[in-house]
């Protein structure tokens, strides 16, 4: 089981919940698992070429990844953040 | 005769719906809808009067299409928003949908979308799911016509999809880097339509393609008459002709003929309205001299008259973007425009006078008018 932190920008999909469990052996599998339960959430984080969107950041624990192929281990924490400046 | 209207307003920070009484005198404001979302375009389907689509994104999140099938009372997200095929050879990914166009009257449920980077997408189920139009997005010339990194400061854009009301197969596109493209087979093949349209930013000032077509419109009274507000002037083309005429040469020289948009009159093929902006030096893109005005032609562009009654007489630095100027089908015709300063203005007498309907909204990206339900 992977613990996922949902940022405020995406809680409209999770009915306000900010921490959800998910399954998957890679970042992509976890995002697809989330998308199955919260339809549309993945495309707002990752584009159609599987690139993490410019102003989104994904961490596995303390380590940032831009590759959705990044392997995960049971018990990992996946943190999704929105990172944007300006008005 | 007039009727109650609704204005669908998309802004950089959400959407609003303004609904009027039958005289278009009083307006009731609903909103904000989706506060904080960037709404590039907000349309209602004229074929059923109930289906509404918004092209939405945010600074952080990827793009989506928001849908209502009950006139804006409730909203859901498209199941499959516009997206290029995975493995796209140009590496394109939709940054945002920019233009939404309800399909032809003979094709209920069909919608078209233009995106940034430039791409054309089609939905056959009322905007719920979208398919890439390979005839354009995979065209052998697409990298030259529509380079994903070219175009405007806000990104390269497929500005507009315009349908011939007489023929669902006949489609025009306005683009930021290939000018106008035309298809006679519903998007299967495309041809540039830019003869005599100037490109003062390229070595060849009259290339086959390369123009920045800000906006095109078919005259409702004669769909063979095209108006174009280009990066380099106001043009008119009467089909089947192929050579555009720069009718903006007749604009006052101190005002010029640069702008983002043009609105043909709903009943008179000879009449159209533009909202000029300052396209000199570093392109301030505000009302020339700080004196906002609509210019109207009644003779096919041979002459233009200034219409500024009601607008600030000085220090009015309006910018009106591509999708933020429109008309209605009433008699007298109403005109509506939204500014990047968050003001909505209207005329209920075909441009003789204007009045402010709203202020203090966020930066307005689009204004569309339709009969209220």
Could you give the ipTM of this predicted complex? 0.90
pLDDT at B40 > cutoff 90: yes
Taking alpha carbons only, the member of B148, B144, B147, B178 closest to residue B160 is B178
pLDDT at B253 > cutoff 90: yes
The sign one gets for the Cα dihedral B233, B343, B21, B24 is negative
Whether B121 contacts B131, CB under 8 Å: yes
pLDDT at A86 > cutoff 90: no
- Rounded CA gap, A56 and A43, in Å? 12
Which residues neighbour B79 within 8 Å (Cβ) at sequence distance 6 or greater?
A39, A40, B128, B129
Pick from A48, A50, A56: CB nearest B60: A56
Please compute the mean of the pLDDT values over residues B195-210 and round it to a whole number: 95
Cα torsion at B300, B305, B309, B312 (round to 10°)? 110
Residues of B in contact with A47 (CB under 8 A): 62, 83, 93-94
CB–CB of B61 and A9 under 8 A?
Answer: yes
**A interface test, pick of B61, B79, B130 with most A CB neighbours within 10 Å:** B61
DSSP state of B63: P
pLDDT at A87 > cutoff 90: no
List the alpha helices (DSSP H) in B35-176. 134-137, 142-145
Residue A46 counted as domain residue: yes
- Report CA B77 to chain centroid distance, whole Å: 23
Residues of A in contact with B13 (CB under 8 A): none
pLDDT at B355 > cutoff 80: yes
SS3 A29: helix
Residue A75 counted as domain residue: yes
Residue A22 counted as domain residue: yes
A49: contact with B, CB 8 A cutoff: yes
Pick from B59, B60, B62: CB nearest A43: B62
Pick from A9, A49, A82: CB nearest B86: A49
- Give the nearest chain A residue to B80 (CA atoms): A40
Residue A87 counted as domain residue: no
pLDDT band of B85, cuts 50, 70, 90: very high
Count of A–B CB contacts within 8 Å? 56
Please compute the mean of the pLDDT values over residues B227-251 and round it to a whole number: 98
Taking alpha carbons only, the member of B312, B332, B304 closest to residue B229 is B304
Instruction: Note the pLDDT tens digit of each residue in A13-62.
Output: 999 999 999 999 999 999 999 999 999 999 999 999 999 999 999 999 99
pLDDT of residue B128: 98
Task: Determine the straight-line distance between the first and last CA of chain B, rounded to whole angstroms.
Answer: 17
The token duo for B212 is 């920045």
Report the share of chain B in percent with pLDDT over 70.
Answer: 99
pLDDT at B260 > cutoff 90: yes
Answer with the residue of higher pLDDT: B373 or B112: B112
What is each CA distance from B86 to B67, B89, B121, in whole angstroms? 24, 9, 15
CB–CB of B61 and A50 under 8 A?
Answer: no
* Beta strands in B23-85, from DSSP E residues, in sequence order: 27-33, 38-44, 52-57, 64-68, 76-77
CB–CB of B60 and A9 under 8 A?
Answer: yes
Pick from A47, A55, A83: CB nearest B93: A47
Taking alpha carbons only, the member of B38, B11, B16, B13 closest to residue B29 is B16
pLDDT of residue B151: 67
- Rounded CA gap, B290 and B244, in Å? 30
Residue A40 counted as domain residue: yes
CB–CB of A46 and B62 under 8 A?
Answer: yes
pLDDT at B207 > cutoff 90: yes
Taking alpha carbons only, the member of B131, B135, B240, B219 closest to residue B185 is B135
- Rounded CA gap, A46 and B84, in Å? 13
How far away is chain B from the Cα of A83, in angstroms, using its nearest Cα? 7
Residue A27 structural domain: 2-82
Taking alpha carbons only, the member of A11, A1, A29 closest to residue B36 is A11
Please compute the mean of the pLDDT values over residues B118-123 and round it to a whole number: 98
Angle B221-B225-B227 from CA coordinates, rounded to 5°: 110
CATH of the domain at A72: 3.10.20.30
The CATH fold of domain B5-371 = Methylamine Dehydrogenase; Chain H (2.130.10)
Count of domains forming chain A: 1
pLDDT at B43 > cutoff 80: yes
How far away is chain B from the Cα of A30, in angstroms, using its nearest Cα? 18
Instruction: Note the pLDDT tens digit of each residue in B289-346.
Output: 999 999 999 999 999 999 999 999 999 999 999 999 999 999 999 999 999 999 999 9
Instruction: Note the pLDDT tens digit of each residue in A57-73.
Output: 999 999 999 999 999 99
pLDDT at B152 > cutoff 80: no
A44: contact with B, CB 8 A cutoff: yes
pLDDT at B155 > cutoff 90: no
pLDDT of residue B242: 98
Pick from B60, B78, B81: CB nearest A55: B60
Please compute the mean of the pLDDT values over residues B179-203 and round it to a whole number: 96
Residues of A in contact with B92 (CB under 8 A): 49
pLDDT of residue B306: 98
Whether B367 contacts B322, CB under 8 Å: no
């Amino acid at each position: 089981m992977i613990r996922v932190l949902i940022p405020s920008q995406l809680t409209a999909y999770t009915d306000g919940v900010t921490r959800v469990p998910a399954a998957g052996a890679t970042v992509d599998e976890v995002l697809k698992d989330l998308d199955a339960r919260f339809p549309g959430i993945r495309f707002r984080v990752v584009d159609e070429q599987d690139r993490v969107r410019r102003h989104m950041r994904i961490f596995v624990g303390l380590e940032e990844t831009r590759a959705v192929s990044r392997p995960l281990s049971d018990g990992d924490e996946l943190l999704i953040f929105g990172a944007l400046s300006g008005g | 005769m007039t009727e109650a209207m609704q204005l669908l307003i998309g802004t950089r920070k959400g959407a609003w719906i303004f609904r009027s009484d039958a005289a278009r005198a009083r307006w009731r404001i609903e909103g904000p809808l989706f506060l904080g979302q960037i709404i590039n375009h907000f349309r209602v389907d004229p074929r059923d009067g109930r289906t509404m689509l918004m092209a939405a994104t945010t600074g952080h999140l990827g793009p989506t299409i928001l849908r209502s099938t009950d006139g804006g009372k409730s909203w859901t997200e498209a199941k499959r928003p516009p997206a290029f095929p995975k493995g796209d050879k140009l590496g394109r990914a939709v940054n945002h949908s920019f233009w939404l166009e309800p399909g032809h009257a003979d094709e209920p449920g069909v919608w078209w979308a233009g995106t940034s980077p430039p791409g054309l997408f089609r939905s056959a189920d009322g905007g719920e799911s979208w398919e890439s139009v390979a005839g354009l997005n995979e065209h052998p010339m697409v990298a030259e016509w529509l380079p994903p990194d070219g175009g405007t400061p806000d990104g390269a854009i497929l500005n507009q999809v315009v349908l011939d009301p007489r023929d669902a197969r006949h489609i025009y596109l306005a683009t930021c880097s290939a000018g106008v493209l035309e298809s006679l087979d519903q998007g299967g093949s495309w041809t540039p339509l830019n003869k005599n349209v100037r490109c003062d930013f390229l070595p060849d000032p009259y290339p086959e393609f390369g123009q920045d077509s800000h906006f095109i419109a078919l005259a409702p009274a004669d769909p063979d008459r095209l108006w174009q507000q280009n990066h380099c002037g106001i043009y008119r083309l009467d089909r089947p002709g192929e050579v555009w005429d720069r009718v903006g040469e007749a604009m006052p020289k101190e005002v010029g003929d640069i702008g983002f948009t043009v609105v043909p009159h709903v009943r008179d093929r000879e009449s159209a309205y533009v909202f000029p902006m300052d396209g000199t030096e570093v392109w301030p893109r505000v009302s020339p001299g700080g004196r906002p005005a609509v210019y109207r032609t009644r003779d096919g562009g041979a002459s233009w008259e200034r219409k500024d009654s009601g607008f600030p007489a000085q220090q009015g630095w309006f910018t009106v973007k591509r999708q933020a100027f429109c008309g209605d089908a009433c008699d007298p015709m109403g005109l509506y425009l939204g500014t990047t300063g968050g003001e909505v203005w209207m005329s209920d007498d075909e441009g003789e006078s204007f009045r402010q309907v709203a202020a203090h909204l966020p930066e307005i990206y689009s204004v569309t008018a339709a009969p209220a339900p």
